[in-house]
Amino acid sequence: MLPIPDFIYLASQSPRRSQLLDQLGVRHELLLPDADEDAESLEVQLRSEAPKTYVQRVTGLKLEAALQRMARRKLPSAPVLCADTTVALGRTIFGKPEDAEDAKRMLRALANRPHRVMTAIALGWEHGQAQACSESWVTFADMSEADIAAYVATGEPMGKAGAYAVQGVAAAHIAHMSGSYSGIMGLPLFETAELLRAKGFKI
């Protein structure tokens, strides 16, 4: 019987995900892409792809790339955790904004309209993998053009799905949330803990 590993690899550049794993008390090391890896290409949406299908597929691709990275670097074997978050209004996916104007466009569309935030996670190891997906709802209050411009000027929307971070300044404009707060942040702790417990971690 193989020994239970005492750490995992986190294949994510998000400091929030690392902080959330710390919150669970899970020891982890970052497993980031090599300079020549085109990680952004994994997030390209397929035509007519449903948001949940999209986020689960992208997470699976990230896991495959990370497992190959671990093997290529000849690192000690340990479970690898990947995650991807997407924001959706109906079937329209709101990814990371390209620039400030794109961020404003997204926030105008989301203002005062309930939208879904889905975070898929995948845990992979040498001979298997497991996945889960958290789905939550967020509703912004009405946001004036001045509100939107002031928020975008903070720089917080850049690099964030849907052009906002629930744990940041955006919270001042969020009227209602339901579901997983940590999932909206980018790593649903309940689902993550379940996958890790099934692999033998004590959480």
Active-site residue, from 84, 99, 102, 147 = 84
* Contact status, residue 164 vs residue 156, Cβ threshold 8 Å: yes
Identify the burial level of 24 via C-beta atoms within 10 angstroms of its C-beta, where 0-12 means exposed, 13-18 middle and 19 or more buried. Answer: middle
What's CA 118's distance to the chain center, in Å? 8
* Gap between the terminal Cα atoms of the chain: 21
DSSP H or E segment with residue 83: strand 80-89
Active site residue 142: no
Contact by Cβ (8 Å): 33, 63: no
Nearest of 123, 121, 61 to residue 86 by alpha carbon: 121
Residues labelled as active-site residues: 84
